[in-house]
């Protein structure tokens, strides 16, 4: 697999504060890579450095296996925080400027504006747009230039449900073309839904980097209820490592390799029937909080 | 010189001296007179430049443009191109006004004499371009438009105060301060109408000093842009 982005020991200091500390990462082509972290963990600073708007203190990074230049950035589409355009120019004019900088064709501007339903407003000044429309215009801009890599920083921040859905559609559309997406967010649910890989930053330090699929691995927990009392039976079963009572349910942590069907079979053999049986998915949120908690103890 | 010719013509009629009829708008004097006066109007053009550049920072469009694939050098070049265009346009306007006004007021026109002293338009161009580049530098340093315009308005005063307070041994460097050097290219023409000697030519050493300052300003803008997080 081809490495699109490679970061080595990247560090950024603001006076005494270290915003990014010794960060090393690799992003492969076709990944949807989530950068997670609480507020102020260095996500935006990292993206700013990668896009050359923030100067690094030390460290290296390369796009497409080559040192960063402005021509590399032309192959990357980025929406950082809020959409930025010239407020006193029309939508069409703004898209022309972006296309000019990126060296992209200007013929697709009208179709792209139709796609995001801004065609009727194309000659209105950008400052008259609502937040949702501004967001749609930046989507239009990204679509028009068809970048190989898309960088999104808190793309759904302050968006209404429609805006969030549109961003998600964009991510899916770009990802389905086999393109690479780097997504910084603190919305874990969002990341779990769309990402293939993720990393966790805290105060500029990389805590974890891996694939989203790996989260589900390891011992699983099952939520179970029966008409009759089964607590004793569950505790006796050699497939369970831990049994907790939670409201009307029992949470059974299974031995690695065992699944909910093993539990169901066991109960049936004991002459009991489960009325409720759910495998608890280990969520990214849980993983994330665990990682943060671990780093606090360390 | 047109003024003396005029005085000569008056001859005995000198008692009828009318200051309104002094030939300030005749060739070749008009070139120096007009360009000298016009250099006081450059602040209005500087305001346009300051607003155009500070907008790029306050709307963060410079940041977005760099993210999209511009380099900081491209930004510098594009703004310098704007400044150059504005300065050339303004110089062209000054040239045309001088030429037309001169043709209207000068009675004994000879095509060969009309362009004597036209190099003052060139000096005007350097003066204006230098001031606008200086405005660019101040905007990049201060970022806020209102503050920058205020500083530009009072900057000549600051420079004058500095020059006045220079110790006697280094007093001569006052003439080489940026805006002082630029204004030294075109000397105040009007004392000649009070029979004082003036330099009625573009003062070349200060042209070179001004160009050096412009080069230094451009480099300072580049260094500041390169170093700053946008």
Question: How confident is the model over A75-127, as pLDDT tens digits?
Answer: 888 888 788 999 999 999 999 999 999 988 888 888 888 888 889 998 999 99
Q: At which residue do the structure tokens 């009309």 appear?
A: B114
A81: distance to nearest CA of chain B, Å? 11
Which residues in B133-169 are b (16+ Cβ under 10 Å) and which e? Answer: bbbbbbbbebeebeebbebbeebeeebeeeeeeeeee
Q: Do A85 and B69 touch (CB under 8 A)?
A: no
The pTM of the full predicted model, rounded to 2 decimals, is 0.82
Banded model confidence at residue A210, pLDDT cuts 50, 70, 90: confident
Task: Give me the pLDDT at residue A171, please.
Answer: 79
Residue in chain A closest to B227 (alpha carbons) equals A55
Q: Residues A67, A216: contact at Cβ < 8 Å?
A: no
pLDDT at residue A196, rounded to an integer: 87
Determine whether the interchain pair A87/B59 forms a contact, defined as Cβ–Cβ distance below 8 Å: yes
Beta bridge partners of A11: A58
Q: Report the pLDDT value the prediction gives residue B85, as an integer from 0 to 100.
A: 96
DSSP annotation of B170 reads G
Neighboring chain A residues of B230 at a CB cutoff of 8 Å: 53-54
Q: Residues of A with CB below 8 A from B64's CB? A: 84-85
Query: What's the ipTM?
Result: 0.78
- Show residues of chain B in contact with A70, CB under 8 Å: 69-71, 74
Give residue-wise pLDDT tens across range A122-148: 899 999 998 878 888 888 888 888 888
**SS3 (DSSP) at B185:** coil
Distance CA A285, CA A279 (A): 16
| pLDDT tens track, chain B, 230 positions | 667 667 777 666 555 666 566 777 877 888 888 899 998 899 999 999 999 999 999 999 999 999 998 999 999 999 999 999 999 999 999 999 998 888 888 777 677 778 888 889 999 999 999 999 999 999 999 988 999 999 999 999 999 999 988 888 888 888 899 999 999 888 888 887 777 778 878 889 999 999 999 999 999 999 999 998 88
A32: left (phi over 0), alpha (psi -120 to 50) or beta: beta
Enumerate the residues of chain B whose CB falls inside 8 A of the CB of residue A54.
Answer: 229-230
DSSP for A33-92? EEEE--TTSSHHHHHHHHTTSS--SEEEEEETTB---HHHHTTEEEEESS----TTSBHH
């Amino acid at each position: 697999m081809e490495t699109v982005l490679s970061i080595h020991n990247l560090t950024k200091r603001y006076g005494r504060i270290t915003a990014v500390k010794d960060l090393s990462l690799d992003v492969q082509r076709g990944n949807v890579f989530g950068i997670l972290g609480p507020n102020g963990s260095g996500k935006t600073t990292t993206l700013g450095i990668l896009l050359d708007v923030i100067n690094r203190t030390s460290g290296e990074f390369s796009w497409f296996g080559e040192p960063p230049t402005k021509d590399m950035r032309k192959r990357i589409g980025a929406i950082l925080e809020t959409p930025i355009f010239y407020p006193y120019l029309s939508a069409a004019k703004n898209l022309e400027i972006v296309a000019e900088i990126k060296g992209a064709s200007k013929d697709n501007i009208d179709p792209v504006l139709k796609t995001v339903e801004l065609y009727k407003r194309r000659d209105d000044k950008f400052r008259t747009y609502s937040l949702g429309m501004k967001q749609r215009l930046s989507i239009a801009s990204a679509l028009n230039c068809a970048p190989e890599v898309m960088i999104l920083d808190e793309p759904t921040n302050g968006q209404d449900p429609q805006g969030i859905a549109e961003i998600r559609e964009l991510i899916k559309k770009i990802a389905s073309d086999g393109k690479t997406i780097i997504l910084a967010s603190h919305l874990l649910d969002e990341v779990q839904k769309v990402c293939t890989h993720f990393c966790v930053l805290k105060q500029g330090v990389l805590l974890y980097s891996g694939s989203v699929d790996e989260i589900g691995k390891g011992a699983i927990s099952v939520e179970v209820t029966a008409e009759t009392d089964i607590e004793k039976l569950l505790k006796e079963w050699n497939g369970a490592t831990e049994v907790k009572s939670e409201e009307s349910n029992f949470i059974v942590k299974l031995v690695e390799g065992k699944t909910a069907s093993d539990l169901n079979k066991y109960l049936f053999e004991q002459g009991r029937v489960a009325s409720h049986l759910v495998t608890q998915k280990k969520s990214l949120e849980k993983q994330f909080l665990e990682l943060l908690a671990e780093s606090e103890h360390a | 010189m047109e003024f003396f010719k005029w005085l000569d013509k008056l001859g005995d009629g000198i008692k009828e001296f009318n200051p309104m009829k002094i030939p300030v708008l005749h060739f070749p004097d008009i070139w120096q007179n007009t360009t000298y006066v016009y250099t006081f109007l450059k602040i209005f053009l500087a305001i346009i430049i300051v607003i155009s550049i500070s907008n790029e920072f306050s709307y963060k469009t410079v940041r977005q443009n760099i993210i999209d694939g511009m380099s900081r050098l491209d930004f510098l070049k594009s703004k310098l191109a704007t400044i150059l265009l504005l300065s050339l346009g303004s110089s062209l306007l000054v040239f045309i006004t001088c030429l037309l006004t001169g043709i209207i007021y000068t009675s004994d026109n000879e095509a060969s004499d009309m362009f004597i002293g036209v190099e003052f338009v060139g000096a005007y161009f350097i003066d204006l371009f230098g001031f606008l580049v200086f405005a660019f530098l101040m905007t990049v340093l201060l970022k806020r438009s209102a503050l920058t315009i205020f500083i530009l308005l009072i900057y000549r005063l600051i420079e004058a105060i500095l020059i006045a307070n220079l110790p006697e041994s280094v007093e001569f460097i006052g003439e080489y301060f940026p805006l002082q050097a630029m204004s030294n290219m075109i000397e105040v023409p009007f004392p000649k109408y009070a029979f004082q000697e003036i330099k009625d030519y573009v003062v070349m050493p200060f042209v070179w000093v001004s160009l050096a300052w412009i080069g230094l300003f451009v480099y300072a803008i580049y260094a500041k842009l390169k170093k700053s997080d946008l």
